[in-house]
Amino acid sequence: MLFCHGNAGNISHRLESIRIFHQLGLNVFIFDYRGFGRSAGSISELGSYADVEAAWTYLIKQRNIAPEKIILFGRSLGSGIAAWLAKEKKSLAIILESSFISIPELARKYYPIFPIKLLARIKYPVIDYVKQISCAKLIIHSIDDELIPYQHGQRNFQMAYEPKRFLSIRGSHNEGFLISKEEYISGIEAFLSYLNCHPEKIN
């Protein structure tokens, strides 16, 4: 699993998630974008795309991992980064958790009276990317998410092509996967089983 984390914190704050994925039998490669953790530079949309592509290249060329064995994972901000990579590369599957339609659409929730689409320099148009992703998709979103509305995850799911699955959980934006841990794990486990049992439908 190539793990693209959210906006807050750095890779050291994702230990609970990594523990869950290890429990599910997945090896995890997680990295910090430029401007996060010990990575130098400043965060930018294009820069984060370059960073995730570099991580992908490392797995393929340095670790000799076949693309069809890699699952992409993106949470919150990372959903835009993982979705971009999924449309550019051929992976086994992608999991998008707490995904937004786009940054401008998300900004409308907080600044409804301003022309956000004209002002926003960062786009991360997840909804446009999911339409171009051919691999299997699992979209996870919490009904209680206070930062990214549940409808954003639903909309991304609606616009995605098959094969796809949607997992609804409960809990806050940052703790939903922990509050709904049992449902979260069983939902991902079911998705992984689907990938193993139906290879002919993947990609």
Q: Is 145 annotated as catalytic?
A: yes
Interatomic CA distance for residues 13 and 15, integer angstroms: 6
Q: Is 152 annotated as catalytic?
A: no
Question: Catalytic one among 32, 44, 144, 173?
Answer: 173
Q: Going along the chain, which residue ranges are E strands? A: 2-4, 29-30, 71-75, 93-97, 136-142, 164-169
H-helix or E-strand spanning residue 179 = helix 176-179
Q: Is 76 annotated as catalytic?
A: yes
Question: Catalytic one among 5, 48, 145, 152?
Answer: 145
Question: Rg of the chain over CA atoms, in angstroms?
Answer: 16
Question: Catalytic one among 5, 48, 51, 76?
Answer: 76
Interatomic CA distance for residues 123 and 200, integer angstroms: 34
**Mind telling me the catalytic residues?**
76, 145, 173
